[in-house]
Amino acid sequence: MKKFLINLGLLLLMVVALVIWTKLPWIGAVALAVLLALWMVLTRTGRQASSVTAVGMGTLRQRIGSSSVIVIGIAGVVGVLVALLAMGQGFQATLQGGGRDDTAIVLRGGSVSEAQSVMTHDDVNAIEQAPGIARDAAGKPLVSAELVVAASMRKKNSDDDGNAQLRGVDDTAWALRPNLKIVQGRKFKPGLRELVVGQGAQREFAHLGVGDEVKLGRQRWKVVGVFASGDAYASELWADRKEVAADYRRGDSTESVLVKLSSASAFAPFKAALAADPKLKVEADTTKAYFAKQSAGLAKIIRIVGLVVGVIMAIGAVFGALNCMFAAVAARAREIATLRAIRFSRWPGSGVGDAGNHAAGTAWRCTRRGRRVAGLRRLHRLHPQRLLRRGIPVQGRRCPDLDRPEVGPRHRLHRRPVPRRAGRALAGNHRLARTLSLQSPSPLGRGEGPWMALL
């Protein structure tokens, strides 16, 4: 139970460290990287950790299978989570892209969308008299009364029908949306059954090319142009408001009124004036806030689904990685014991199970070449018999449970401290583990040299 709590605490500590790392600014990340480099250079434990890390990187090809499982698992979790979160964020950004702080939308009181709102011609006239509205060169208020209906259309490369949003507008609507640009054809003419379609709608529905005719409602309409906007309007069809109202029998009613304000600060007095008029029962909001409300619900659902799926996949990836790591450590317990015998500290030594690789099995061959290895001139003194005479404690010859997998590395060696005289040649010599692991196997076969006789 104690070990479980310790491991759980380490896992939580790792999660907290990762969260802090992701929240740090770039200069904080650079500072931590510099501190880590200094620790690995200036401290004994850091140098041991760097040696073990170098061994792991140098022998990565020998562990390509287990390493690939860990990498692919983590990459899959990150990819799925990023894709789902990006879906919700992209939907929200697309809708909010059509909103501005200096443009207001007016709906019927209690309506949450244009489809639920209905206003009369008198309501539109009263809204035009409110303060804070911008005017054009002729002194006409920049107000656009708009009608939105759902039109059934055939989808591209399919026999299924879908609903397209048909918006009836006046000429003023173009001035209130400066980001809309005609990319093909021309604008529709008032009084004619002509359509201008968005690029998104043209990609989704059939028979929306310039010059095509399509049946909407009770009449046939001719497509005369294509516009680009980069926001939610790109999936709509635009036509003359009076013609749309006549075709769909809406009379002189409208669903929303779009208003161009003189400035963003003019919205507050504009909204207050509408609320003070007893004849009006309307609600006003900036288009930016309106589209944010429209996208908040779906974006929240997508975000929740993404987090749930990501957490489930992350748990599976963590257990898969732990399984591979524990299997690697269990297979290299003797190598870990070898590093502990040469006075590597506990933490770097315990983490070398996946990185030590062939250290113990190739030790004797390395000792014969020790005089020719740079930095290991005293390695010839490491013959096993001398180590035993010097008092380096190993109990493998007397341990009947040595080959049992449940016997951990800590039980492979006595816990008596290494005598100072015997360990002086080894203490701080951090190239030893790397040299032991990178040399070819001994003539006696992997794991059969004199070191293995001891272990």
Q: End of a domain among 242, 268, 291? A: 291
The strand ranges marked E within 277-430 are 282-286
Is residue 204 in some structural domain? yes
202 and 264 housed in the same domain: yes
d(CA 174, CA 47): 68
Q: End of a domain among 230, 259, 291? A: 291
147 and 238 housed in the same domain: yes
- Contacts of residue 16, Cβ cutoff 8 Å, sequence gap at least 6: none
Buried b or exposed e, range 159-182, using 16+ CB within 10 angstroms: eeeeebbbbbbeebbbebbeebee
Residue 194 has a pLDDT of 93
355 and 262 housed in the same domain: no
405 and 337 housed in the same domain: yes
Buried b or exposed e, range 39-61, using 16+ CB within 10 angstroms: ebeeeeebbbbbbbbbbbeebee
106 and 252 housed in the same domain: yes
Give the CA dihedral 422, 426, 432, 433, nearest 10 degrees.
80
Residue 96 has a pLDDT of 64
Residue 43 has a pLDDT of 86
342 and 287 housed in the same domain: no
The per-residue DSSP string of 30-98 comes to HHHHHHHHHHHHHSHHHHHHHHHHHHHHHTGGGGHHHHHHHHHHHHHHHHHHHHHHHHHHHHHHHHHTT
Residue 218 has a pLDDT of 84
113 and 262 housed in the same domain: yes
Number of structural domains found in the chain: 2
pLDDT tens for 320-350 read 777 777 777 777 777 777 777 776 666 544 4
Q: Is 134 helix (H, G, I), strand (E, B) or coil?
A: coil
125 and 258 housed in the same domain: yes
287 and 143 housed in the same domain: yes
d(CA 48, CA 40): 8
267 and 353 housed in the same domain: no
280 and 340 housed in the same domain: no
Is residue 325 in some structural domain? no
Q: End of a domain among 263, 291, 319? A: 291
Is residue 374 in some structural domain? yes
250 and 358 housed in the same domain: no
pLDDT under 70 in the chain at which residues?
94-98, 343-455
Biggest CA pair distance of the chain: 108
Residue 385 has a pLDDT of 45
Is residue 11 in some structural domain? no
* Structural domain containing residue 454: 332-455
Residue 443 has a pLDDT of 36
Residue 328 has a pLDDT of 72
Is residue 126 in some structural domain? yes
